[in-house]
């Protein structure tokens, strides 16, 4: 896991050493182990290395191979298999890295090489023979890829903050993205960012940049394949289990210590269980895994009891981080800097503290359960919509079975939803928010049907909205502490297999994540297997904001001045705002204004 930097001078002048170094050094946290540079006639590559495979200097980047040069961030987990196949085609290798395998793959397959990769990546390859730069971002966008044109420089980077080092850089506000953020907490739903004229290459896309005429094109190379398959229950469960185990097996490939982020939910607990089995049996390793978990003294927000169930079952080393308001006060500015953009809740803090603890424990690679909910459709909103459609169709048999499977504390809310028009809640237009009302904002599609098409549409929405934002948070929080985070639920083989299973393998008699539970049943404590509530990385946000006005009120009082009246709060006190609009909106106006201040954004 690393950080990349590319600068192209569109006036065809050489790029200065100081400029590419500045752009690269600002992301030193992504790669503290080494740095390197490559200079072409009118462009330059920069790289910061976090050593994971082949820790020797031979693995440093930018790396050259057969007239190709690469700067690369990520991991290609099936590099060993690809290396063998390419070796049979006559390719020779000097290193034990996956980087060299990418270059050989591009040399052999050209642009189609990315379809051979199982992993996460954002890279740019200089192809000397064609005078082009070939860039690519992995299928689901686990790794970031940003670009902008500023003062005749076309720039590519792993993080937006790299562009702030460009000559005459100005941070300007993108109102469309801001409106979506305030309306629906949406971000990363398009190529746009909070910064005007800063874009991201979307997941599953390639970029080809012509160095001669300075034109570029973007080509999509991947779309999840939807083709619902019919198969027996036992076969489906076995196939899922085998794919899941192989996904984790590949993601255990590392020359540094690997740990796991354990929340106590079904997803992360399944990873811990399977990992334990692989480390102690399949891989014949005596090394026990080590977990890191976020907890709270307030039991309402803590999953400590579930975490203990997993730790006790496998007798593994457990590290717990008890997050507090003091951690938020201490880390807020650091969080804003690393995230590059505002974030809609304090849940970011819990994940941030987990990676901070992992760093202290010497865990350079962490395996995380991110992506499972988006692939299998386990969010409660999906579930309520499914029940409503069954009610409308008078399919009372399935409706009753699903209702009985709902946790008792959620039944009243769900049944009430069946008798009311289902509509995604969004924040109304407020007079104090000066946003152009003509700008469209992203809306969640609630017109789903109760069949497999229903779930596919749900999953399409999360791939466009929820998943990219979650992966953004995951990448920045982990890389803030020089940690590579790996997400086995987003192995494309497992994703496609899951997407194409009939609906009842995903939601069955009220059980969400049915296929995961059954496939990992032997690896899960009974209490986790039967668990139906979902928390994720939560924090006592409302409690903190009500009981710590001494910290939040001064931040609130600065909003009008910082945003130059864009958000007008001077007529409403902190307490009145909290009581009227709630903690969610209050947090967003505070974090937005602090982001404006941190990055000197012009509104």
pLDDT tens across 170-211, in order?
999 999 999 999 988 888 999 999 999 999 999 999 999 999
pLDDT at 452: 54
Is 479's pLDDT higher than 70?
Answer: yes
Is 90's pLDDT higher than 50?
Answer: yes
Residue 436 confidence class, pLDDT cut points 50, 70, 90: very low
The reported pTM is 0.91
Domain ranges, ordered by start, for the chain: 2-220, 233-376+468-529, 545-602
pLDDT at 112: 98
Task: Look up the CATH architecture of domain 2-220.
Answer: 4-Layer Sandwich (3.60)
The radius of gyration of the chain from alpha carbons, rounded to an integer in Å, stands at 24
Is 165's pLDDT higher than 60?
Answer: yes
Considering the chain, what is the average pLDDT of its residues?
Answer: 88
- Sequential DSSP letters for 228-284: -----HHHHHHHHHHHHHHHHHHHT--SS-EEEE--SSHHHHHHHHHHHHIIIIIT-
pLDDT at 403: 66
Q: Kindly report, residue by residue over 446-459, the tens digit of the pLDDT.
A: 333 444 555 566 66
CA 488 – CA 251 distance, rounded (Å): 7
Residue of 2, 295, 323, 520 marked catalytic:
2
Task: Report the pLDDT averaged over residues 109-115.
Answer: 98
Is 431's pLDDT higher than 60?
Answer: no
Q: Which long-range contacts (CB under 8 A, 24 or more apart) does 185-189 make?
A: 185/344, 185/345, 185/584, 185/588, 186/441, 186/442, 186/465, 186/469, 187/341, 187/342, 187/343, 187/344, 187/469, 187/472, 188/465, 188/468, 188/469, 188/471, 188/472, 189/442, 189/464, 189/465, 189/468, 189/469
Percent of the chain past pLDDT 70, that is, above it, reads 83
Residue 429 confidence class, pLDDT cut points 50, 70, 90: very low
The helix, strand and coil proportions of the chain, stated in percent and rounded to the nearest 5, come to: 45, 20, 35
* The two structure tokens encoding residue 224: 């999840």
> What residue has token string 């990873």?
271
Of 407 and 359, the one with more pLDDT: 359
Q: Give yes or no: 2 in active site.
A: yes
Question: Which range in 233-237, 434-438, 592-596 is most confidently predicted, on average pLDDT?
Answer: 592-596
**CA-closest candidate to residue 379, choices 217, 267, 261, 482:** 267
* The two structure tokens encoding residue 548: 């710590």
Q: Which of 207-216, 322-331, 505-514 has the lowest mean pLDDT?
A: 505-514
CA 334 – CA 515 distance, rounded (Å): 39
**CA-closest candidate to residue 191, choices 235, 145, 237:** 145
Class of domain 233-376+468-529: alpha beta
Phi/psi at 233 (5° precision): -60, -45
């Amino acid at each position: 896991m690393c950080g990349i930097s590319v600068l192209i001078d569109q006036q065809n002048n050489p790029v200065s050493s100081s400029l590419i170094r500045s752009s690269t050094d600002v992301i030193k946290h992504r790669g503290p182990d080494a740095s390197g540079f490559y200079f072409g006639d009118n462009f330059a590559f920069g790289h910061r290395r976090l050593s994971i495979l082949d820790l020797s200097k031979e693995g440093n980047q930018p790396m050259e191979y057969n007239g190709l040069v690469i700067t690369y961030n990520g991991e290609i987990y099936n590099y060993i298999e690809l290396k063998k196949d390419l070796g049979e085609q006559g390719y020779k290798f000097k290193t034990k890295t996956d980087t060299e395998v990418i270059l050989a793959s591009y040399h052999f397959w050209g642009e189609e090489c990315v379809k051979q990769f199982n992993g996460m990546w954002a890279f740019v390859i200089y192809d000397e023979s064609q005078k082009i730069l070939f860039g690519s971002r992995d299928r689901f966008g686990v790794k970031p890829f940003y670009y902008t044109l500023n003062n005749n420089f076309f720039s590519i980077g792993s993080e937006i903050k790299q562009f702030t080092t460009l000559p005459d850089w100005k941070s300007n506000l993108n109102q469309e993205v801001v409106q979506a953020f305030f309306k629906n907490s949406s971000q990363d739903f398009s190529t746009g960012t909070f910064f005007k004229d800063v874009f991201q290459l979307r997941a599953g896309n390639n970029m080809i940049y012509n160095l001669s005429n300075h034109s570029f094109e973007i080509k999509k190379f991947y779309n999840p394949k939807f083709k619902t398959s019919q198969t027996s229950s036992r076969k489906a469960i076995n196939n899922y289990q085998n794919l899941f185990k192989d996904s984790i097996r590949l993601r255990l490939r590392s020359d540094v210590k690997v740990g796991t982020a354990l929340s106590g939910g079904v997803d992360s607990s399944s990873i811990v269980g399977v990992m334990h089995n692989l480390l102690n049996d399949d891989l014949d390793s005596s090394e026990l895994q080590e977990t890191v978990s976020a907890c709270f003294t307030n039991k309402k927000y803590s999953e400590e009891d579930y975490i203990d169930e997993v730790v006790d079952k496998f007798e593994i080393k457990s590290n717990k981080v008890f997050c507090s308001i003091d951690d938020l006060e201490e880390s807020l500015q650091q969080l804003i800097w690393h995230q590059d953009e505002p974030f809609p809740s304090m849940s970011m803090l819990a994940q941030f503290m987990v990676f901070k603890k992992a760093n202290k424990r010497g865990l350079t690679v962490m395996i995380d359960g991110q992506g499972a909910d988006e692939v299998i459709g386990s969010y409660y909103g999906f579930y309520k919509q499914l029940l409503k459609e069954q009610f409308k169709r008078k399919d009372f048999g399935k409706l009753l079975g699903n209702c009985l499977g709902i946790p008792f504390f959620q039944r009243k809310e769900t049944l009430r939803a069946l008798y009311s028009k289902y509509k995604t809640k969004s924040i109304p237009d407020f007079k104090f928010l000066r946003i152009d009302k003509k700008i469209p904002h992203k809306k969640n599609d609630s017109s789903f049907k109760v069949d497999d098409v229903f779930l596919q549409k749900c999953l399409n929405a999360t791939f466009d909205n929820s998943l990219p934002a979650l992966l953004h948070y995951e990448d920045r929080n982990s890389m803030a502490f020089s940690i590579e985070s790996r997400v086995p639920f987003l192995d494309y083989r497992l994703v496609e297999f899951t997407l194409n299973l009939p609906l009842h393998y995903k939601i069955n008699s009220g059980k969400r994540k049915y296929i995961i539970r059954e496939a990992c049943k032997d690896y899960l404590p009974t209490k986790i297997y039967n668990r139906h509530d979902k928390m994720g990385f939560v924090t006592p946000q409302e409690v903190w904001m009500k009981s710590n006005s001494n910290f939040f009120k001064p931040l609130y009082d600065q909003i009008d001045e910082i945003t130059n009246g864009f958000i007008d709060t001077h007529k409403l006190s902190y307490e009145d705002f909290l009581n009227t609009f709630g903690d969610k909106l209050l947090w967003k106006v505070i974090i937005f204004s602090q982001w404006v201040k941190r990055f000197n954004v012009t509104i």
